[in-house]
Amino acid sequence: MGTPHCQTIRLPLPWNPPQRISVGCNFIRCRIIEPSKVPAPMGHKTRYKDGIFEKAFISFLTGKMDKFASYDSASTGEKCDDVLYDSQYETFVHVSKRVAMSRTRKQQQEVVREVLLSVLPSDQLDLFRKLFPPKKWAFELYALFTGFLFYWLIGPSEVVDVEVNGGKQRSGVHIKKCRYLENVGCVGMCVNMCKFPTQDFFTNEIGIPLTMTPNFEDMSCDMVFGHVPPPFDDDPVSKQSCYTATTCSMSKLTPES
C-alpha cells in the first residue's frame, strides 16, 4: 500500500474575515508624504502629515505661545485665529514668528522657557530629575525618545554614537533636515526660539546637559545629551549670519505682507 496523502479541504466561511487595516501609524504618527519618503532637497519644503495626537499637542502648544505673540502695527495685525492655514504646524510657525517680533534675543529665549515651564511644572521637573539622573543610561534614553516624541517638530532623525567626557555612548541625535528651521527659514529663530532655550531647559531645569549644533547649510542638526553647552559668546552660532533678506522669512514680515 502506498503512503496516504493528506489533503487540505478549504470550506467556504459564512463570513468574510476582516482585512488588515493600516491606519495605525498613518493616522496617529507624523510622517513625510514626499514620494521619496525622505526630506526634500534644499530649496524645497518637505511635506508632512501630522497624526491626530500630534495635531492636538501642536494646537495646545500654539495656544500657550500665542499669549506672547506680537500683533502690533509692525505686523499684519492678524491673530492666528483670524488666519486660515493648511495645518496646525503652519499656525504654530506663524505664532512663533509673532513671538520673535519686537523681542531681543534674551527675551525670545525667556518666552520659550516660560512656555516649556507651563507644559512641565516644577513638581514634574523634580520627578524627572529623580527618575533620570545625569548618567550615561539616561543620556542614551533621552536620545532614543527624542526622535519618537518630537518627529512632528524636527522631522526624521537617527541616534548616533558620540564622545562625551572621553567615552563613547549612543546619546547623539542627528536631525537630517530640521522641520522647524525649514519652515521658519530664519537663523535667528532657530538659535533663539529653539537651540538656546532647549539647551538651557534640559541642562538647568531637567538636569540633563544638552548641546545642539545646527548646520545652516543643509538644515541638519546634531544633539548631544550629556555634553555641557558652551556659553553664548563661545558658541559658533553667535557669529552666524542669517539667510539673505530674500530667503529669511522674518525679513518678509512687513505690514504689506
Profile the chain (257 residues) by mean pLDDT over runs of 10 residues.
47 42 52 88 90 91 91 49 64 92 90 93 89 96 94 95 94 97 93 96 96 96 97 90 67 41
Check residue 144 and give its pLDDT: 95
Q: What is the pLDDT of residues 108-139, one digit of tens each?
A: 999 999 999 999 888 889 999 999 999 999 99
Check residue 80 and give its pLDDT: 45
Check residue 13 and give its pLDDT: 41
Residue 162: closest CA among 222, 103, 104: 222
Whether 95 contacts 78, CB under 8 Å: no
Check residue 114 and give its pLDDT: 95
Q: What is the pLDDT of residues 192-217, one digit of tens each?
A: 999 999 999 999 999 999 999 999 99
Check residue 30 and give its pLDDT: 81
Check residue 250 and give its pLDDT: 58
Q: Where are the domains of the chain?
A: 25-238
| Distance, CA of 106 to CA of 123 (rounded, Å) | 25
Check residue 108 and give its pLDDT: 93
Contacts of 99 (CB under 8 A, 6+ apart): 65, 68, 69, 70, 108, 111, 193
